[in-house]
A and B are shown apart, each in its own frame.
Chain A
Amino acid sequence: MTAGTLVAEGFRPARIALVGPPNSGKTTLFNTLTGGRQKTANYPGVTVERKSGLLKTPGGHPVEVLDLPGSYSLRARSPDEAITRDVVLGRQQQETLPDAIVCVTDATNLGQHLRLLLELRQLGRPLILALNMMDIAQKRGCQISVEALSRQLGIPVVTTVAMRKSGVQDLLGQIDALLNQAPAAGGTAAISDWVEPSPEAIRAYHREVERLLQEAVVREGAPERLTRQLDRVLLHPVAGPLILLAILFVMFQAVFSWAEAPMDWIDGGMAGLQQWLAEHMEESLLKSLLVDGIVAGVGGVVIFLPQILILFLFILLLEDFGYMARAAFLMDRLMSAVGLNGRAFIPLLSSFACAIPGIMAARTIAHPLDRLVTILIAPLMTCSARLPVYVLLIAAFVPNTTVWGGIGLQGLVMFGLYATGIVGALVVAGVLRLTLLRGESQPLLMELPSYKWPNPTNVLLGLWERAKIFMRRIGTIILSLMVVLWFLSTFPAPPDGATEPAIYYSFAGQIGRTLEPLLAPIGFNWQIAIALVPGLAAREVAVAALGTVYALSGDEGTVTEALTATLAQNWTLATALALLAWYVFAPQCLATLATVRRETNSWRWATFMFVYLMVLAYIAAFVTYRVALALGGG
């Protein structure tokens, strides 16, 4: 039985792949076609997301639509684009050859976008051309003869307005027509003969596109004006970078101020849950596991969800608006000084929320070396998990005064910690590019798309996607770690007549005390050493662990308050500063290391990242501690 008959007899839905250049509105079309019925999974071996959705055509055919990563050509340059190539060529494992391809193109930029269609047509598979954003093209006075184009190409051509449900009816109709045809349509001979187009072949495609446009374009539209005018300001050599800085400033302000209320709600909810469990459960190990291990641990991570979502809301809005490519343009020169590509700006920006989505976003960087450097420095961006530790130590040790006429000293220290991370990242990138990862940098070559209003559906679906990834991680890695950590810090039970807190006698305490001599030169006492053991798995857990070590009890708010006082009494300023310096660099997040392993497909780079960050953290803490001691901070 062939794939075609399987489809025809309704054994499985027909599989349709959406292929198109970046900025062709492909994702908007996908969202309109499939609505909320989407599924995101990963392709085996790589972490490129496989986005698919089910729909029923007006003719009653069940169809699975596959949204493939945007690509200018089948000659794939990045891991993302390689997926597109492999799927349409049927080379992707665990993915059968799509029954038909819909090539999505921007009708206002056909001169560039039709070339991909010609490449796809060479494959001899069932193919539909969708002229997307036709409304914008018409508004600019552009007239395209769909019939002439269809006749010239020998394939069905439809116009679509991806933003509107009614704008995709023609496309659905054509899909129906294609599925009603003989299922044997389209052999696979041309696919096995496929070779990367040579420069000459690309030139030939260009000439063919020219010819097609002469036949099919009745009237050319007026060039876009708004983007040019906006760029005159936003890409201005002086005003551009200043505006970028202002946008980043507003963004981080919003992350902290807007997130405050929802974070309080989550905090309150978790505390309430803890209290409810404490009151309604018998005193037992299970209760301890639930209250101290799972609710406290998972709650400590869930609380960052609002900050992460707000940061991503900004990133998605700016991306949809078309500004992110401009940000990469403005940052390129600065980043190329340390051997990075301007494109690395977006992954690194995401890393301020959490390194994991940042590392995953590095997939869009085509060059393997550029991508690897970006991944390796992503954890140096101050992620939100460091904040509770920063806030605690700053509140305990930095006086709440103002310096230089009105700048808060506490805020200044916080800024200094962020800046240290960024500078550290740039230095590390530069050093890596000169030593281990030497090699040519990738050319920039990046489209600056036309500005457009962000599409709310796209942004909300994108946000939902991030929330799901984050929550899934909490449900799996973090949850299981919390159980392990609870076990380590609960067993063995303290002996009778114990004078120290229970954790002192536990496995975690034993590990911490073993580490103490190693950490003494950088000013860490055994309490810190014990807190760092669970903190290795996830940074933010260290605060709760310190609370346990100093035998403080109560909900999170009161623990933090009491800790501030306790630490201010028990630690020297030098120790506190050393711990802050340690936190800027230390690789204390197992989930990040697991992501690096997955993204680089080797333990080698995950191990390398762990070791280099550990060494940097130790050196930074050592220097900070010694300098602070010498200056009288003991």
Chain B
Amino acid sequence: MNGQGGQERQLFEWGRLVKAGLTQPLGLMRRGDVGRILAVQSGEGDVERGLLEMGFVEGACVEVLHYGLLGRDPLAVRINQNMTVALRRCEANAVLVGPLLDQTAGTETVSSREQGAS
């Protein structure tokens, strides 16, 4: 993440994760799923800032603990094993989540999976 090179590298890694089908929006995750936040982005105004302020930031680890009875909405998400936040699925879709892997170890595992798939 340091400087231009770091950012490019990160984008490249995400690309690989997306290609391997290992990423999904937080809003599609099921109960018990864990992952690491890759990106927080929302087209509309303050949702992004709201999410960031509640701790949904790139690199944080998330776990879906519960959801409501009707429409499995809203979600209760544990952030970094520490704070639990309730949010609706539509907002949760602004959060892109990848596998919960160490940053360097993660790339290796993904690479091996890609090889395995091809």
- Whether A399 sits at the interface, judged by CB under 8 Å, is no
Query: B69 contacts A202, CB within 8 Å?
Result: no
Question: What is the predominant secondary structure among interface residues of chain B facing chain A?
Answer: mixed
Residues of chain B contacted by A422 (CB below 8 angstroms): none
Contact A443 B87 (CB under 8 A): yes
Residues in chain A near residue B51, CB distance under 8 A: 445
Residue of A nearest to B46 (CB): A77
Main secondary structure of the interface of A (DSSP, over half): helix
Contacts of A342 in B (CB 8 A): 74, 86
A223 touches B82 (CB 8 A): yes
Q: Which 3 pairs, one residue from A and one from B, show the smallest C-beta to C-beta distance?
A: A235-B66, A448-B84, A237-B69
C-alpha gap A232/B74 in the complex (Å): 15
Q: Are A446 and B85 in contact (CB under 8 A)?
A: yes
Interchain Cβ contacts under 8 Å between A and B, 20 examples: A72-B53, A75-B49, A111-B82, A198-B49, A199-B40, A202-B49, A203-B57, A224-B82, A228-B78, A235-B65, A237-B69, A329-B74, A332-B68, A332-B86, A333-B74, A334-B70, A443-B88, A443-B91, A445-B91, A448-B84
- Partner of B55 from A111, A336, A444 at Cβ < 8 Å: A111
Chain B residues lying within 8 Å of A544, measured Cβ to Cβ, are none
Task: Flag if B87 contacts A445 (CB, 8 Å).
Answer: yes
Q: Is the CB of A443 within 8 A of B50?
A: yes
Judge whether A336 and B88 touch: CB under 8 Å.
Answer: yes
B105 to chain A, nearest CB (A): 19
User: B73 touching A231 by the CB < 8 A rule?
Assistant: no
Interface contact B91-A199, CB-CB below 8 Å: no
Closest chain B CB from A10 CB (angstroms): 40
Known A329-B68, A445-B87; further 20 A-B contacts with Cβ < 8 A: A108-B82, A112-B54, A112-B83, A115-B53, A199-B40, A199-B48, A199-B49, A199-B52, A202-B57, A206-B57, A228-B78, A240-B69, A329-B86, A332-B68, A332-B86, A336-B73, A445-B50, A445-B85, A446-B85, A448-B76
What's the count of A-B pairs with C-beta under 8 Å?
113
- B71 to A333, Cβ gap below 8 A? yes
Cross-chain contact B70 with A333 (CB below 8 angstroms): yes
Q: How far is the CA of A332 from the CA of B47 in the complex (A)?
A: 18
Q: Which residues of B contact A (CB under 8 A)?
A: 40, 46-55, 57-58, 65-74, 76, 78-88, 90-91
CB distance from B31 to the nearest CB of A (A): 9
A238 interface residue per 8 A CB criterion = yes
Chain A residues closer than 8 Å to B78, beta-carbon distance: 228
Q: Does A73 sit within 8 A of B, measured CB to CB?
A: yes
- Closest CB-CB distance, B44 to chain A, in whole Å? 8
Contact B54 A202 (CB under 8 A): no
Query: What's the Cα separation between A231 and B83 when bound, in Å?
Result: 13
In the complex formed, the residue of A with least CB distance to B77 is A448
Decide if A444 touches B91 in the complex (CB within 8 Å): yes
Q: Is the CB of A444 within 8 A of B88?
A: yes
Contact A447 B54 (CB under 8 A): yes
Is the CB of A97 closer than 8 A to any CB of chain B?
Answer: no
**Interface pair B80/A111, CB less than 8 Å apart:** yes
In the assembled complex, the CB of A387 is this many whole angstroms from the nearest CB of chain B, namely 32
| Chain A, range 239-254, C-beta contacts under 8 Å to B | 240-241
Chain A contacts for B84, CB-based, 8 A = 227, 231, 447-449
Asked if A73 and B68 sit within 8 Å, CB to CB, the answer is: no
Distance of A108 Cα from B81 Cα, bound (Å): 11
The answer, yes or no, to whether A325 is at the interface (CB within 8 Å) is: yes
Contact with B along A192-228 (1 / 0, CB 8 A): 0000011100110010000000000000000110011
A443-B88, A444-B86 given; A236·B66 CB < 8 A: yes
Residues in A with CB closer than 8 Å to B81 are: 223
Q: Is the CB of B68 within 8 A of A72?
A: no
Q: How far is the CA of A399 from the CA of B48 in the complex (A)?
A: 59
Question: Is A330's beta carbon under 8 Å from chain B?
Answer: yes
Contacting residues of chain A (84-116) with chain B, CB-CB under 8 angstroms: 108-109, 111-112, 115
Please tell me if the beta carbons of B88 and A75 are within 8 angstroms of each other in the complex: no
Q: Give every chain B residue within 8 A of A72 (Cβ-Cβ).
A: 53-54
CA separation between A481 and B85, bound complex, in Å? 46
Beta-carbon nearest neighbor of B84 in chain A: A448
Question: B76: shortest Cβ distance to chain A, in Å?
Answer: 6
Q: Are B69 and A112 in contact (CB under 8 A)?
A: no
> Complex: how many Å from CA A67 to CA B50?
24
Chain A residue numbers with a CB within 8 Å of B87 are 443-446
- Nearest-CB residue, chain A, relative to B80: A111
Question: Are B88 and A447 neighbours in the complex by a CB distance under 8 Å?
Answer: no
- List, in ascending order, chain B residues with CB within 8 A of A336's CB: 73, 88
Least CB distance from B53 to A in Å reads 5
CA distance A236 to B86 in the complex (A): 14
Identify B83's interface contact among A237, A443, A447, CB under 8 A: A447
Min distance, Cβ B37 to any Cβ of chain A, angstroms = 11
Report the minimum CB–CB distance from B45 to chain A (whole Å). 9
- B31 and chain A: residue at smallest CB distance: A237
Give every chain B residue within 8 A of A447 (Cβ-Cβ): 54, 83-86
Contact A332 B82 (CB under 8 A): no
Min CB distance B54 to A, Å, is 5
Residues of the B chain whose Cβ atoms lie less than 8 Å from the Cβ of A329 = 68, 74, 76, 86
- Complex Cα distance A334/B71, Å? 10
B69 and A228 form a contact (CB under 8 A): no
Complex CA distance for A395 and B74, rounded to whole angstroms: 43
Given the complex of chains A and B, what is the CA–CA distance between A154 and B80 in angstroms? 27
From B49, B73, B86, residue with most partner A Cβ within 10 Å: B86
Give the residues in chain B near A328, CB-CB below 8 Å.
Answer: 86
Are A202 and B86 interface neighbours, CB within 8 A?
no
- Chain A residue contacts of B76, Cβ below 8 A: 231, 235, 329, 448
Given the interface pairs A329-B86, A445-B85, the reply to whether A203 lies near B69 with Cβ below 8 Å is no
B52 adjacent to A325 (CB under 8 Å):
no
Contacts known (A202-B53, A235-B66); A112 close to B82, Cβ less than 8 A: yes
Closest-CB distance, A2 to chain B (whole angstroms): 35
Q: What's the minimum C-beta distance from B28 to chain A, rounded to whole angstroms?
A: 17
CA distance A444 to B74 in the complex (A): 8
Q: A residues within 8 A CB of B46?
A: 77
Using CB atoms, name the residue of chain B closest to A228: B65
A197 to chain B: closest residue by CB: B49
Query: Closest approach, in angstroms, between the C-beta of B13 and any C-beta of chain A?
Result: 18
A202 touches B52 (CB 8 A): yes
Name the residue of chain A whose CB is nearest to the CB of B56: A445
B47: chain A residues at CB < 8 Å are 443
Interface centre among B40, B76, B83, B87, by most chain A C-beta atoms within 10 angstroms, is B83
User: With the chains together, A320 CA to B90 CA distance in Å?
Assistant: 29
Q: How far is the CB of B62 from chain A (nearest CB, A)?
A: 13
Partner of A237, one of B53, B67, B86: B67
Minimal beta-carbon separation of A328 from chain B (angstroms): 8
B58 touches A203 (CB 8 A): yes
Query: Is there contact, CB below 8 Å, between B74 and A332?
Result: yes
